[in-house]
Structure 1
Amino acid sequence: MSLGLAARRLIPQSAKNFLRQRTLPWRVSILLSPYLPISICVDVGASYYPHGKWLAFLNAPRTQWLAVEPNEANIGYVKSWRWPCQVAACTTGLSREGGTQTLYVTNVDTGSSLLPPEITPSMKHRVSSLGYFFPVTERRIETLTLVQALAGLSATAPVFVKLDTQGTELSILQGAQPLFDERRIVGIEMESTLLAQPVMKGSGKFWQACEYMEQQGFELLHIKPIAAVARSGRVRSGRNTYLNECDAVFALRPDVAATLAVEYRVSLLAFYLTNLFYEEAMSLLEHDAEVVSFLSIQGCSVDALVAILKAAV
């Protein structure tokens, strides 16, 4: 254990919480989260913990948080949920069509997918440890579509989706076309492969995701390319490895969002802030008087929020 890690473990949790709440995202969340309207956040592939970057929604009492993870043992944290938002668990996997599907359980279960792993000739020299994937066991499981998974939650609230499902992210979204047609989905964070020949056979590629999302009235706000880990396992400056995958953030275009109810635009504001787009958030507050009025009526100190954002941009 490093000295730095050992020292951090000696800091009382109360002190850690105090320091955390002095950060910009926490300060923004304290001002905004209590006044957000009902929204649905779906974490697909929700193993081990909810991602803290979603503070604005996790701290919002009206948020309906749905943790989707077929491996029930990996979402035990839901039973001791400490966030102000409402939480529910879905232990059924998602797919484009729903119904019975084959789950390919990899040797390390975090790589399991509805797609089989396939190491093509061009990838053989790049995959240093086949033990992560193989041996693979096949298991028949029941799945839901994203639309079906939302049953029992608000039928009118804006929806935000985070996906990490080892290659099936795009197909799950394509199976939710009714939600796109109704303009229910406002923001998406998804993992996507950048490989010409993905290791999970049939994975939706990043360029395909961009094309599909643009067709639904979305824009790409951010991409975080993720390079492959060097076979040595060491990270060295001045050395490159091939691009493996990326995390991508999509949101409804402002002109599309402008046609929706004010609650949707307020939720879009929270999504901008979740992903640190402070200038986009500032622009929305400057040009959308209805959003400002909504928050003010709810009790939010919009002036204080604007002051923090101005200091950040």
Structure 2
Amino acid sequence: MTKRIEPATRDGRNLRFLKICRELLELPIVSVDVGADGGVREWGELATLCAIHAFEPRQNSFEELQRSLTEISQPYLTIHNTGLARTTGKHRLYVTRIPQASSLRKPKPASFLLKRWRQDNGFDVTQELEIDCISLAQFVQEEKISHIDFLKLDTQGSELDILLGGGDFLHEISVIKCEVEFVQLYEGQPLFDEVVGTLATYGFRLFAFEEGAEVYRKRIWSDCMFIQSKFTDQARLMRAAAILIHIGYYEEALWLLIDHGVPVEIHQRLATARMEDITPTRTKLWQGFRGGARKLLNTLGVLQIAKKIFK
């Protein structure tokens, strides 16, 4: 089942960053979120400039995702109650005690996790479901999607399978946020080195680690950020830079634009607008008050000097 919420309007909030994005970018920004349990969190107000596809095959999580939609994200979001896999067809989903650990790959035995990492039974399989899945290549073909600006993968060990299911379309993806593991939590699961190496063959460069889990400085998993190294399409390049700035990677966006010969002033406009938008209102008011007070004091000082001169 696919739930599509048609946009009533494409108007965004009165934010400088959105205004400049409308001016500089060819819209919409195309985003695909695979494993959207917990909500589509990256976009906020920028959702008004996006076409977002979210995948969540587990019915309970799918319904929770529907309930979590905000007024901002609703019109621009299409929710797919299906899974993505390397091949289209029926696949077995291993549902675990902690639902977020469910995977198309079977979790490693509980004894391994208990001894090495977790002190609970969260990875115990409580149910095995047969679910419908589609490959990334077939999905973009059916939806007539020519590119993906931002792809987020959080599927507990099947991320590389999903990527490989995209085939040559991987060249048409700009930014990827992908969960990777450094130890096998699922049977036959590809680890960090293999994911990074495979994406490198498609032109992707790892540029950041985000949240993850460590045990006494032994890294278990992490969300990794990847960017295409070379862009031949200026429109895709500009959307990628705007995405990086929106999620806080200002310097990475600057290097990306400089590498492709884009004037630094473009980055300055986008970055300055974004930083001003996220500055708390209270801080802005204080800065305005402080600036006004300084001008007043300067004026009073000039008046005092003038009085002394012309006394």
Query: What TM-score, normalized by structure 1, do the two folds share?
Result: 0.71
Bigger CA drift: 119-128 or 32-41? Answer: 119-128
Q: Work out the CA distance in 1 between the residues paired with 2:70 and 2:251.
A: 36
**SS in structure 2 at match of 1:155:** coil
Checking the alignment, whether the CA contact within 8 Å between 1:116 and 1:201 is kept in structure 2 is: yes
Change (3 A) 1:171 1:32: farther
Q: Does 2:200 match 1:214?
A: yes
Aligned residue pairs, count: 260
Change (3 A) 1:129 1:178: same
Q: Does 2:236 match 1:264?
A: yes
The answer for the alignment partner of 2:54 in structure 1 is 67
Q: Work out the CA distance in 1 between the residues paired with 2:91 and 2:197.
A: 26
Within 5 Å, give how 1:1-313 maps onto structure 2.
29-35=17-23, 36-37=25-26, 38-52=28-42, 54-55=43-44, 57-60=46-49, 63-71=50-58, 72-77=62-67, 81-83=71-73, 86-119=76-109, 123-180=113-170, 183-195=171-183, 198-224=184-210, 226-228=212-214, 240-253=216-229, 256-257=230-231, 260-285=232-257, 304-305=269-270, 307=272
Q: Work out the CA distance in 2 between the residues paired with 1:282 and 1:31.
A: 19
Checking the alignment, whether the CA contact within 8 Å between 2:17 and 2:270 is kept in structure 1 is: no
Change (3 A) 1:65 1:207: same
Checking the alignment, whether the CA contact within 8 Å between 1:40 and 1:65 is kept in structure 2 is: yes
Shift, 1:126, TM fit? 2.8
- Letter of the aligned partner of 2:176 in structure 1? I
Deviations 1:252-291 (A, max 9, x none): 01xx21xx22111111112321342212323455565678
The higher-RCO structure (CA 8 Å, 6+ apart) is: 1
- Letter of the aligned partner of 1:270 in structure 2? A
RMSD: 3.3
Change (3 A) 1:178 1:56: farther
Which one has the largest radius of gyration?
2
Give the gaps of 5 or more residues in structure 1: 1-20, 230-239, 296-301
Change (3 A) 1:141 1:31: same
**Could you tell me the percent identity over the aligned residues?**
24
